[in-house]
Amino acid sequence: MIDEVRKEPCKKVATVSADTKEENGYLVELFKEGDKTTLYMTVALPGAFKGYHLHRIRRGRMICLRGKVKFTVVEGTKKVEQILDAAVPERLFLPKDVYIGIENIGDEEAWLINFPDPAYDPAIKDEQLEKTPAEIEEQLKGR
């Protein structure tokens, strides 16, 4: 049994803003089943905004382990905002087919754990759509 103790690599991917293309954080795969990622951490740099993005298939369940973030969720011309703070353990359910923006409103890196449902499958193409904040503002105005 002790021979089974081992380290495994975790993939880390830098993320960039949809509009400015500047680095805003990164993702780390925490657990995989085959090619599918069942658990990952997304990190937002202090003051960074990640999004807007929409998942056509996956739902999310986010937990903030460090920092404080504001989620802006947009469907058509409707908008909802939610705050997750590491000091208050809560899980935020995010449905598919809505645009999601994540803003780090704290002064340190924000660490978010996501349990995607279904797991992220790299074989599925065009599952995620992106819009810039300006495009979302136009959408909210009904244009």
pLDDT in tens, 74-88: 999 999 999 999 999
**96-115 mean pLDDT:** 97
Task: Please state, rounded to an integer, the average pLDDT across all residues of the chain.
Answer: 95
How crowded is residue 5: how many other Cβ atoms within 10 Å of its Cβ?
6
Sheet hosting strand 91-94, strand order edge to edge: 12-16, 23-33, 36-44, 110-114, 60-66, 91-94
CB 101 within 8 A of CB 71: yes
- In percent, how much of the chain has pLDDT > 70? 99
The CATH architecture of the domain made up of 2-140 is: Sandwich (2.60)
The per-residue pLDDT for 143 is: 67
The per-residue pLDDT for 33 is: 93
**44-50 mean pLDDT:** 96
Q: Which helix (H) or strand (E) holds 133?
A: helix 133-140
Domain extents in the chain: 2-140
